[in-house]
């Protein structure tokens, strides 16, 4: 059986990436930016990674309606019908459900590979290998997740506790998922690493479309009802009305982890080394991106005296630094952000202050 014939990489690209403010803005969130300096946005890289596996016609992008035009511009070879716009964000479970009904309508045997657009993956061939292996395993009705082998006790990610091996698929071993664990405290994270059978939850999933729909029916009946109604309305004159009636009232922002994965019975994981990084903050970029001969990550015109491990982003200004260590400087048209690398998580405090002070223009 040709495993890729029914494989549909479905890229979630609706996030706002606020921890990478001021580069990541409401008008151009993280996934649409070229943060690695290679000339391709995160979304374009996610798309490019799939081209050796499937034709563009099999790739889908789920995003907010306000970004549909951006996706179209960034991925001109992607058929327009493969760009699915949510009228409003309703959490990752709903976004995935929306993708699923499109796929199911097209191909009853569709295998959906939910991918992220805002993560760095330096070993794309391993990702492709895992997707093919997972597509094979998915035929048996499993819900499959990709787990990242942890290199340190990160407290900002969810973890997956792995059980016994369940087989080798396309050269990669799959294991039973015992439990999803939410972001742990440091002691817990350390115990996970010592235990050895925990991986980071990558947010990438593979399943047959009919299987995930059955899970929605069982664990998220309100969402399921909405999805069925929407599916019937897709491409008809009633589509807009159906979104108003069924999508907009969806409650909360339920994640697929909480809504389905933590409750489902047959869940498997491929522990993989993808050279993965979620670059969820400027500090992560400083850690991950290549450094120049002075040990700085420079995406700007930079002149310095005794500075190292400094991340410098600017489009057109000269950034001059003296005696800086472990520092982040992000210069944009209207904002300059300066902070030590170990304070990068506090960007959200600035964003909060901007909202409180009615300075929304700096977020847009």
Q: Which residues sit at the interface with a copy of itself, rule CB under 8 A?
A: 22, 303-306, 314, 316-324, 327, 329, 331, 333-340, 342-343, 346-347, 349-350, 353-354, 357, 359, 362
Judged by CB, which is closer to a copy of itself: 193, or 354? 354
Q: With respect to a copy of itself, which residue has the nearer C-beta, 108 or 353? A: 353
Of 251 and 325, CB closest to a copy of itself: 325
Q: How far is the CB of 287 from a copy of itself (least distance, A)?
A: 18
Q: Shortest gap between Cβ of 363 and a copy of itself (angstroms)?
A: 11
Nearer to a copy of itself, 269 or 351 (CB): 351
Contacts within 8 Å (CB) and 24+ apart, 287-296: 288/120, 289/35, 289/36, 289/37
Least distance CB 333 / a copy of itself (angstroms): 8
Indicate the residue among 17 and 97 with the shorter CB distance to a copy of itself: 17
Q: How far is the CB of 282 from a copy of itself (least distance, A)?
A: 10
For a copy of itself, which is the closer residue by CB, 190 or 309?
309
Give me the least distance between CB of 330 and a copy of itself, in Å please.
9
| Contacting residues for 271 by C-beta, under 8 A, at least 6 apart | 147, 148, 149, 162, 173, 175, 199
**Residue 101, phi-psi category: left (phi > 0), alpha (psi -120 to 50), beta (remainder):** alpha
**221-233 and 92-106 are packed helices; what angle lies between their axes, rounded to 10 degrees?**
40
Q: How far is CA 103 from the centre of its chain?
A: 19
CB 197 within 8 A of CB 147: no
Closest CA to 175 of 160, 158, 162, 161: 162
What 8-state DSSP symbol labels residue 29? -
Closest distance to a copy of itself from the beta carbon of 33 (Å): 18
Least Å from the CB of residue 21 to a copy of itself: 8
If the CB atoms of residues 148 and 351 are measured against a copy of itself, the closer one turns out to be: 351
Q: How far apart are CA 117 and CA 113, in angstroms?
A: 13
Contact assessment for residue 272 and residue 172, using Cβ atoms and an 8 Å cutoff? yes
Contact 122, 274 (CB under 8 A): yes
């Amino acid at each position: 059986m040709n495993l890729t014939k029914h494989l549909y990489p479905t890229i979630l690209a609706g996030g706002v990436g606020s921890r990478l403010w001021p580069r990541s803005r409401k008008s151009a969130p993280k996934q649409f930016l070229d943060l690695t300096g290679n000339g391709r946005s995160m979304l374009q890289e996610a798309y490019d990674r799939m081209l050796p596996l499937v034709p563009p016609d099999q790739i889908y992008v789920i995003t907010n309606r306000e970004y549909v035009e951006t996706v179209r511009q960034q991925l001109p070879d992607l058929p327009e019908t493969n760009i699915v716009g949510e009228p409003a964000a309703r959490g990752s479970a709903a976004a995935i459900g929306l993708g699923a009904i499109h796929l199911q309508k097209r191909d009853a045997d569709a295998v959906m590979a939910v991918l992220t657009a805002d993560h760095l993956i330096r070993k794309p061939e391993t990702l492709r290998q895992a997707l093919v292996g997972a597509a094979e395993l998915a035929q048996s009705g499993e819900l499959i997740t990709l787990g990242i082998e942890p290199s340190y006790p990160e407290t900002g990610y969810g973890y997956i506790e792995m059980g016994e091996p369940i087989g080798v698929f396309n050269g990669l071993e799959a294991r039973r998922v015992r439990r999803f664990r939410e972001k742990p405290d440091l002691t817990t994270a350390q115990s996970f690493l010592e235990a050895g059978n925990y991986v980071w939850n990558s947010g990438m999933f593979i399943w047959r479309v009919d299987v995930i729909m059955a899970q929605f029916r069982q664990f998220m009946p309100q969402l399921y009802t909405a999805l069925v109604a929407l599916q019937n309305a897709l491409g008809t004159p009633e589509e807009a009305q159906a979104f108003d009636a069924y999508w907009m009232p969806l409650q909360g922002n339920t994640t697929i982890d909480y809504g389905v994965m933590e409750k489902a019975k047959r869940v498997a994981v491929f522990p993989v080394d993808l050279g993965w990084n979620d670059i969820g903050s400027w500090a992560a970029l400083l850690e991950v991106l290549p450094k120049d001969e002075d040990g700085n990550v420079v995406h700007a015109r930079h002149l310095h005296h005794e500075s190292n491990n400094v991340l410098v982003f600017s489009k057109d200004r000269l950034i001059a630094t003296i005696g800086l260590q472990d520092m982040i400087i992000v210069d944009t048209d209207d904002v300059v952000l300066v902070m030590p690398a170990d304070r990068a998580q506090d960007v959200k405090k600035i964003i909060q202050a901007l909202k409180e002070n009615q300075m929304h223009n700096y977020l847009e």
